[in-house]
Amino acid sequence: MEDLPDVVGRRFASGMAGTTDVPRVWVAGNATDLTAQLGALAAVGDLAGSHINAVLVAADADAALATGQGTATA
């Protein structure tokens, strides 16, 4: 959490696509920007969702390759 200037409130500190310092935890919406309006919040949520999906797809691919499921047979 971080304090906003002028005692506006507090927000979750996040990086691009809502990433946080906690692995596998993302934040979006008014939790990260108290002043954003609906359109901007929807876009941030969409970006976070696509980032989460990319991380999960990469993890599935890594797991498949580690177990040998990613090898082709003739």
CA–CA distance, 45 with 17 (Å, rounded to integer): 8
Q: In terms of pTM, does the model score above 0.75?
A: no
User: Which residue type sits at 53?
Assistant: N
Give, for all 74 residues of the chain, the pLDDT tens digit. 888 888 788 888 888 889 999 988 999 888 888 888 999 999 999 999 999 999 999 999 999 999 886 555 55
